[in-house]
A and B are shown apart, each in its own frame.
Chain A
Amino acid sequence: MAKLNFEVEELTGEIKIPAINPGATAHVKPNPSKDEHNTALGFPGGLVENWEAKAVEKMGELLGKYKSLRVFMDSCVRCGSCTDKCHYFIGTGDPNNMPVARQELMRKVYRRNFNPGGKLLGALAGAEDMSQSVMDQWNSYFHQCSQCRRCSVYCPYGIDTAEVSMAAREIMNSVGIGQKYCNEILGKVTTVGNNLGLQKAALANTLEFLEEDVEEETGHAVKFPLDVKGADVLLIAPSADFFSSPHIEGLTGYAKVFHEAGVSWTISSYASEFANFGMFIGSFDTMQTVAKRIRDAAIELGVKRIIVGECGHAWRVAYSFWHTLIGPWDFLDPKYQTPTHIAEFTLDLIQRGGLKLDKSANDERVVTFHDSCNVARASRMGDMPGGQFEIPRAVIRAVCNNFVEMDENTIREFTYCCGGGGGLLTDELMEIRVKGVSPRAQALHEVMERKGVNTMAAICAICKAQFTKVLPEYGFDMEVVASLHQLVSDAIILGGKPGV
């Protein structure tokens, strides 16, 4: 990779509030999408005529559609509580990365057009017309928000900057300003079936390879079935699980768990993606188109239930929106909840004695857990409050002897984003990706120094890809990053139990 042309913070184990540095990352912008990427999603190819007015019109439409957006625009009292809570502000010092300032980029246009005082007094009331310079700021700073919702936890009014940035991106797309990374990928998932553009033959080859590889290593014929009609379980995994490390090791873990459980399962080549970037660009329609492939595949294959793999934002989409997007689930077996997270399935199996585990297989590891933002703050898991925190931890404790938490202000609902979420996992945004991981990097460094941690487990494809890429810039070994089910995979004694 080309050398970084910015400085990387030194590891001290401490998360420090930076000196303010106006405009520090104003130059960081996403690559613009090609016209065909936009039109494929139903957006205008290039910048539309009279775009300033059209953007304001779209804002008006969204304010009518999402009551919460109007509340967020109106209710900020500038208390300042959110200002130092965003990892991008902490990493860059750029005041526009303070959540309140990020919202303000939209609020000033809102005031000018939808608020009586702003209409009358203009700049005096902090109101501003939509213009090229405002749009430049939007394009920079709404793409320096990973929609992680950390700021909203600290806001007394619950103002959710993630929703503001989704709305901003929806407005941008509606006037023809698209982000290449998200829009190109959405084109692939809606045609090929996954973000990677992995076609059926390649997927089949990958899965066959894994079968051989696992059998070579363990002597057990663990299957990775593809497009098997009549299977009980449809597994929907993020496509990174078919491609990268440590994602693949997680997929291997799921397969071993199913093998031991004795359930028949399958992957679908048609719906070979759990990720749903429709959420990142704030587009309900796109989100629905992407999700619908999963419903169609489940019906076509005649499965009884859907279990999903390790992916953070997709879990939010599945847990919070699937029912509205692609329900009802009348074609599935009502005995099971839809969706089921693989961590829930595994923990349940462990608790019922259905997995034989050798924890000592992970004895060289001292493990900590990174809560993924979308799992932690935008969804739940299982049937108890906080299940999204406890279930993955219970799985880790069941398969590892050494588990240690990071600083309490950096985990559970206070977790810091990996820095690559929200559609920012692309090379041209590397500067904010590297800087944005700094709070997580410091917290990890601290437990490595103090408690000998050498492994950080995650349950999100984006977190894993982002960490393996950017943590080495701070001097970490990329192998500190592990999939939750990689730890499970290493501890399972195959053939140990008849399934239950």
Chain B
Amino acid sequence: MSIELNGVTYETDEDGYLVNVDQWNKDVAVVLAKDEGVEMSDNHWEVVDFLREYYEEYKIAPMIRILTKAIGKKLGKEKGNTKYLYELYPGGPAKQACKIAGLPKPTGCV
């Protein structure tokens, strides 16, 4: 499977995750989001940006509470919780937000 965008081919796996993390950019993120039924707002981007930063350093998505705490710091305490993340990404922060951020799908009992 793949996504064609502005003359570039982005290869995806059977679940629609980008095969190459480094190929990611905001335009393809919007396409991935649309596919998930997610309309990207500034707050959506905050989550995606944090995921990318964390991945850069640790080669994995952050544990859920690290993410909620970081989002709470950026967007206000009342938004620093799992409920808010699910409002943004109903398919789950670990899977749906990671997909839009171009990260590989988390494996295991998650």
Contacts and interface: CB of A to CB of B under 8 A. Distances in A.
Interface of A: 1-3, 31, 181, 184-185, 188, 194-199, 201-202, 205-206, 209-210, 213, 238-240, 242-245, 247-248, 275, 311, 425, 427-428, 461-462, 464-465, 469, 478
Interface in B19-60: 36-37, 57-60
Contacts of B62: 206
B100 to A, nearest CB: 12
B92 A462 contact: no
Contacts of A247: 109
Given A1-B36, A196-B106, A202-B60, 12 more contacts: A2-B37, A2-B91, A3-B37, A185-B107, A197-B107, A198-B60, A243-B63, A244-B109, A245-B64, A248-B64, A425-B109, A461-B109
Nearest to A247: B109
Contacts of B109: 195, 238-240, 244, 247, 275, 311, 425, 461-462, 464-465
A275 B69 CA distance: 28
Chain B facing A: main interface SS: loop
Across the A-B interface, give the 9 residue pairs with the lowest CB-CB distance, nearest first: A1-B91, A195-B108, A202-B58, A240-B109, A461-B109, A196-B108, A465-B109, A206-B63, A243-B63
B63 A185 contact: no
Interface residues of B, number: 27
Nearest to A34: B13
B94 interface: yes
B105 to A, nearest CB: 8
Contacts of B96: 1
A354 B35 CA distance: 53
Contacts of A478: 86
Residue of A2, A210, A275 with most partner-chain B CB within 10 A: A2
Interface string B75-110: 000000010001000111011100000000011111
Residue of B65, B92, B107 with most partner-chain A CB within 10 A: B107
B4 interface: no
Contacts of A242: 63
B3 interface: no
B107 A188 contact: yes
A245 B58 contact: no
Given A2-B37, A427-B15, A243 B58 contact: no
A243 B36 contact: no
B65 A213 contact: yes
A270 to B, nearest CB: 17
A217 to B, nearest CB: 11
Contact of A195 (B14, B92, B107): B107
A188 B106 CA distance: 12
Contacts of A248: 63-65
B17 to A, nearest CB: 10
Contact of A240 (B37, B57, B58, B110): B110
A461 B108 CA distance: 10
B106 A428 contact: no
B110 to A, nearest CB: 5
B36 A2 contact: yes
A187 B69 CA distance: 32
A240 B110 CA distance: 6
B108 A239 contact: yes
A240 B108 contact: yes
B108 A243 contact: yes
Given A202-B58, A248-B63, A243 B110 contact: yes
A282 to B, nearest CB: 19
A297 to B, nearest CB: 19
A106 B25 CA distance: 49
15 contacts: A1-B90, A1-B95, A31-B14, A188-B107, A195-B107, A199-B58, A202-B60, A206-B63, A239-B108, A240-B109, A244-B63, A244-B64, A244-B109, A311-B109, A427-B95
Contacts of A428: 14-15
A245 B95 CA distance: 13
Contacts of A275: 108-109
